[in-house]
Amino acid sequence: MTNTEQYQQKKQKTDFDAVVIGAGFSGLYMLHRLREAGFSTRVYEAGDGVGGVWYWNLYPGARCDSESIYYNYTFSDELLQEWTWSSRYPEQPEILRYLNYVADKFDLRRDIQFETRITAAHYDEENNCWSIHMEDGSSVSATYFISGVGCLSAANIPRFKGLDDFEGQWYHTGHWPHEKVDFKGKRVGVIGNGSSGVQSIPMIAQEAEQLFVFQRTPQFTIPARNHPYDPEFIQKTKENYPQIREQMKESWGGFPIAPSVRSALEDAPEVRQEVYETAWEKGGFFLTYTYHDLTMDEAANETVSDFIRSKIRETVHKPEVAEKLLPTYYFGTKRPILDTHYFETYNRENVTLIDVKSAPIEEITAKGLRTAEAEYELDVLVFATGYDGMTGPLLKIDIRGKDGLTLKEKWNEGAHVQTYLGIANAGFPNFFMITGPESPSVLANMPLAIEQHVEWIGDCVEYLRDHGIEKIEATEEAETAWSSHCREVADATLYPKADSWYTGANIAGKPRSFLIYLSVASDRIDGFVRRSLQRDMMAFLWCHSQRQCRK
Ligand code: NAP
């Protein structure tokens, strides 16, 4: 009898080999990868369609801020050739169309159960399987339980006093209605100016009668300079996709752009200015690629931060408004933002910027919003207040491993998050996270990072089956080593200094810890090998995991 046959015989009869949460970029590819390998798989999705964040984020102005020709799956040559992006940074409907196209092309829908939310998953040690429970009271069992919940799907709606009494309509950008929200003739308030706020504010301003932006922290944002692609460019890209894909995999951020090896402090101020001007004109994230030490060294960072502040002063006509918009944190240590006419929007007569750092929001009233200084009457209130990132979506589900230990307990309510590679947890056999906390993901090109995780998990479960191994579980030692490596890399950078969703500081009461593996930085620290999106990482992690995890 072969190992695989022995494995099948020993394996507890379960409803499915694998259950996956979520039908976004992660869940769709995971389903395809597992099905191709012969595993029976079921995806559960809370929404009534595929798309994940791109299904829920329908707010005005929502678009991708990674260049579209790289922001897609690379696993299928056919798909790369068939799909054509219209512009550099496509809008949400186009990305959603792409994911629907993928779902149809690979016939994925037949294994996805929509409008079904997983609320709990408990490991049954005796039978070595996961028992998975849905909101509607049903449950199924599976050998492998895989999370594709995404890093940013648990909306942060700050608990302002009085929200229930608000007589107008209110929305969170990440749970936008599928019908158009009409701002015409309305007094609209937007709380928050991260990526979602910065994208939606210029669009809402064009339609609303009055727009009040409630800003707690001024943000650095860079012009996207979106433009349609011409057919020649698309044709060339398609011809070169095999090389482009290789370059993406070899890069530290998942884009085929070579990082600079120069320090910002090596260049004379005039030269540096020229470098920044050129990148600013190109738009997109080129500015972040200009020098290697922008997020490593305070003095280097000051040069680029000053440059962007000077652009804000140039763009915003009223000096007192421009002053309020000047960020003071280190550029890049909160997620960089791309915009289309964001700062220009503050030159409009119908837009008012309100600083809620100096005069905090005290309550939502029946008629609007009251800060420590004034009350603003509003018809519509938009929460662009972000997400309980990385851990939030997982902790919303009652996940229990061995001995009934909950993930919440294991991570000590978020005070001590520790994972192995951002994929596995000691005490939770056969449970995998796609782009979980401490994974190399959100600072890179997400679809590529997701592919890497999915392929790792796919290879892993195939290996288990082919070698007759019933379960895999991270050891505590491996987890501790990985976690301390993550912290070591982060602490060598400026990232932990910012109050961002990377650190959990954006959520009231959330313990602060750095929740992301900074693969980008590990590349630049002496003594660390490049560990993230290069081809060798799979091999490295796989060998490592076999040594550390195999029981
Ligand atoms: P975010 O970056 O966390 O921004 C949230 C905003 O809400 C911040 O301005 C924050 O202020 C403010 N805020 C939160 N709680 C508040 C409170 N109690 N009072 C006043 N202001 C409050 O969230 P996001 O804009 O939704 O973006 C999250 C991430 O999603 C991005 O970083 C990005 O990774 C992703 N995203 C990507 C795209 C894209 O691809 N184009 C688009 C949207 C989102 P503070 O800064 O003071 O905390």
Residues 242-294 pLDDT 10s = 999 999 988 878 899 888 999 999 999 999 999 999 999 999 999 999 999 99
- DSSP secondary structure of 333-384: SSPPEEESSHHHHTTSTTEEEEETTTS-EEEE-SSEEEESS-EEE-SEEEE-
What's the CA gap between 384 and 172, in Å, rounded?
6
- Higher pLDDT: 132 or 485? It is 132
Please check the confidence at residue 532 and state whether its pLDDT lies above 90: no
Start-to-end C-alpha separation, the chain: 22
Nearest of 476, 467, 70 to residue 243 by alpha carbon: 70
Of the pLDDT bands very low, low, confident and very high (cuts 50, 70, 90), residue 548 is very low
Q: What is the mean pLDDT of residues 509-527?
A: 71
Tell me the backbone φ, ψ of residue 54, rounded to 5 degrees. Answer: -80, -10
The best mutation among 67, 176, 195 to test binding of ligand 1, ranked by most ligand atoms within 8 Å of the C-beta, falls on 195
Residue 364 scores a pLDDT above 90: yes
Q: What is the pLDDT of residue 12?
A: 66
The residue whose CB lies within 8 Å of the most ligand 1 atoms, and thus the one to mutate among 153, 335, 362, 450, is 335
Per DSSP (E only), the strands in 152-263 are 169-172, 187-191, 210-215, 221-223
Q: Using CA atoms, how far apart are residues 132 and 113, in angstroms rounded to an integer?
A: 14
Tokens matching residue 1: 């009898």
Q: Is the pLDDT of residue 541 over 60?
A: no
- pLDDT of 86: 98
Task: For the chain, count helices (H), then strands (E).
Answer: 17, 18
Residues 14-48, buried b or exposed e (16+ Cβ, 10 A)? Answer: bebbbbbbbbbbbbbbbbbbbbebebebbbbbbbe
Say whether pLDDT at 460 is over 60: yes
Nearest to 296 by CA among 455, 16, 525: 525
Q: Which residue's alpha carbon is nearest to atom 19 within ligand 1?
A: 216
Residue 120, pLDDT score: 98
What are the boundaries of each domain within the chain? 3-154+389-550, 156-220+337-386, 257-331
What is residue 312's predicted lDDT score, i.e. its pLDDT? 98
Q: Which amino acid is at 527?
A: G
CATH topology of domain 3-154+389-550: FAD/NAD(P)-binding domain (3.50.50)
DSSP state of 474: -
Q: List the one residue out of 338, 384, 390 whose CA is nearest residue 502.
A: 390
For the chain, the average pLDDT equals 92
pLDDT single digits (tens) 409-445: 999 988 899 999 999 999 999 999 999 999 988 989 9
Q: Is 506 in the pocket of ligand 1 (CB under 6 A)?
A: yes
Mean pLDDT across 129-156: 98
- How far apart CA 33 and CA 186 sit, in angstroms, is 48
| pLDDT tens digits for range 68-86 | 999 999 999 999 999 999 9
* Integer Cα distance of 321 and 348 in angstroms: 12
Q: Which atom of ligand 1 is nearest to the CA of 385?
A: 7
For 261, the token pair is 């090896």
Task: Give dist(CA 547, CA 551) in Å, integer.
Answer: 9
Q: Which residues pair with 133 in a beta bridge?
A: 120, 139
64 Cβ closer than 6 Å to some ligand 1 atom: yes
DSSP string, 91-159: BHHHHHHHHHHHHHHTT-GGGEE-S--EEEEEEETTTTEEEEEETTS-EEEEEEEEE---SS-SB----
Residue of the CA atom closest to atom 8 of ligand 1: 192
Give the tens place of pLDDT for each residue, 168-206.
999 999 999 999 999 999 999 999 999 999 999 999 999
Rounded average pLDDT over 322-346: 98
Consecutive H or E run containing 43: strand 41-44
How close is the Cα of 513 to the center of ligand 1, in Å?
18
**Predicted local distance difference test score (pLDDT) of residue 525:** 39
Nearest to 335, CA basis, from 450, 439, 260, 443? 443
CB-based burial, 368-398: b 16+ in 10 Å, e otherwise: bbbbeeeebebbbbbbbbbbbbbbbbbbbbe
Quote the pLDDT of residue 250.
83
Backbone dihedral angles phi then psi of residue 441, each to the nearest 5 degrees: -150, -75
In the chain, % of residues over pLDDT 90: 86
Q: Is the CB of 90 under 6 A from ligand 1?
A: no
Q: Do domains 3-154+389-550 and 156-220+337-386 have the same CATH topology?
A: yes
Average pLDDT over residues 88-95: 98
Nearest CA to ligand 1 atom 20: 216
CA of 172 to the centre of ligand 1 (A): 11
pTM: 0.94
pLDDT at 7: 67
The pLDDT of residue 42 is above 50: yes
Ligand 1 centre to CA of 5 (Å) is 50
User: Is residue 502 within 8 Å of 389, Cβ to Cβ?
Assistant: yes
d(CA 199, CA 211): 14
Residue 384 Cβ inside 6 Å of ligand 1? The answer reads yes
C-alpha radius of gyration, the chain, whole number: 24
Task: Using the mean position of ligand 1's atoms as its centre, give its distance from the Cα of residue 190 in Å.
Answer: 12
335 lines ligand 1 (CB under 6 A): yes
Q: Is the CB of 259 under 6 A from ligand 1?
A: no
CA angle 322, 325, 331 (to 5 degrees): 125
Q: Closest ligand 1 atom, CA of 89?
A: 41
**Does the pLDDT value for residue 537 go beyond 50?**
no
- Residue 80 region, left (φ>0) first, then alpha (ψ -120 to 50), else beta? alpha
Distance (Å, whole) CA 547 – CA 481? 13
pLDDT at 385 over 80: yes
Collapsing DSSP to helix, strand or coil, 441 comes out as: coil
Report which ligand 1 atom has the smallest distance to the Cα of 442: 34
pLDDT computed for residue 527 by the predictor: 32
**What's the pLDDT score for residue 546?**
45
The pLDDT, as a whole number, for residue 534 is 34
At residue 528 the predicted structure's pLDDT band, cuts being 50, 70 and 90, is very low
Contacts of residue 415, Cβ cutoff 8 Å, sequence gap at least 6: 511, 513
Contact 194, 336 (CB under 8 A): no
CATH level 2 (architecture), domain 156-220+337-386: 3-Layer(bba) Sandwich (3.50)
Q: Is 196 in the pocket of ligand 1 (CB under 6 A)?
A: yes
Report yes or no: 190 and 197 within 8 Å, Cβ to Cβ.
yes
Please report the atom of ligand 1 found closest to the CA of residue 334. Answer: 32
Predicted local confidence at residue 2, as pLDDT? 75
